[in-house]
Chain A
């Protein structure tokens, strides 16, 4: 069962308090999401580390039920 936008968002904000999560449905099928995450916890982290933090927040579903999640991350600029 693919994850809904709300489930993805809640999983990320629960693991990364203060994160801003923007979801875009790429295919209208609840299974192809573009997700943008801006989180203070990313400061000083490499992109790979930032993405791994999000994957951990999604509890290992990445690559499984979550087949197509297009992810971009960054630390807050201000």
Chain B
């Protein structure tokens, strides 16, 4: 397993909820990342965020890891859930909140 993949795998499996994003929750650097942050804040769950702008290896590696071409990317208990669009669709349908309950994700 490549170094990037190993690093990503440990990050993804190290917390219940992990958001790979551009910028930070306080200072998102992209509209889609900003939307992902506000969705997670609405869900009221604790999450780890990773600023891919600070780490080019992670920025490219995460796209290969999930076979998904864009950032942000959400992981729940190690599983890739989707990007900002899918998070929005799931949130609007109440599916994201239910999934977090089903997977017993820690509250913020």
When chains A and B are docked, how far (Å) is the Cα of A70 from the Cα of B67?
Answer: 18
Instruction: Please determine whether B63 and A51 come into contact, CB atoms closer than 8 angstroms.
Output: no
- Known contacts A47-B82, A48-B80, A48-B82, A63 near B69 by CB under 8 Å: yes
User: Across the interface, which residues of B come within 8 angstroms of A62, CB to CB?
Assistant: 69-70
User: Across the interface, which residues of B come within 8 angstroms of A52, CB to CB?
Assistant: 67-68
User: Across the interface, which residues of A come within 8 angstroms of B82, CB to CB?
Assistant: 47-48, 51
User: Across the interface, which residues of B come within 8 angstroms of A55, CB to CB?
Assistant: 69
User: Across the interface, which residues of A come within 8 angstroms of B68, CB to CB?
Assistant: 48, 52
* Residue A72, interface by CB 8 Å: yes
Within 8 A of B (CB), among A21-78: 47-48, 51-52, 55, 60, 62-64, 68, 70-72
Instruction: Please determine whether B69 and A72 come into contact, CB atoms closer than 8 angstroms.
Output: no
* Residue B90, interface by CB 8 Å: yes
Instruction: Please determine whether B86 and A51 come into contact, CB atoms closer than 8 angstroms.
Output: yes
Residue of B nearest to A58 (CB): B69
Instruction: Please determine whether A72 and B89 come into contact, CB atoms closer than 8 angstroms.
Output: yes
Instruction: Please determine whether A47 and B86 come into contact, CB atoms closer than 8 angstroms.
Output: yes
Instruction: Please determine whether A63 and B63 come into contact, CB atoms closer than 8 angstroms.
Output: yes
When chains A and B are docked, how far (Å) is the Cα of A26 from the Cα of B89?
Answer: 18
Within 8 A of A (CB), among B56-108: 63, 67-70, 80-83, 85-86, 89-90
Instruction: Please determine whether B63 and A70 come into contact, CB atoms closer than 8 angstroms.
Output: no
User: Across the interface, which residues of A come within 8 angstroms of B63, CB to CB?
Assistant: 63
Residue numbers of A with Cβ under 8 A of B are 47-48, 51-52, 55, 60, 62-64, 68, 70-72
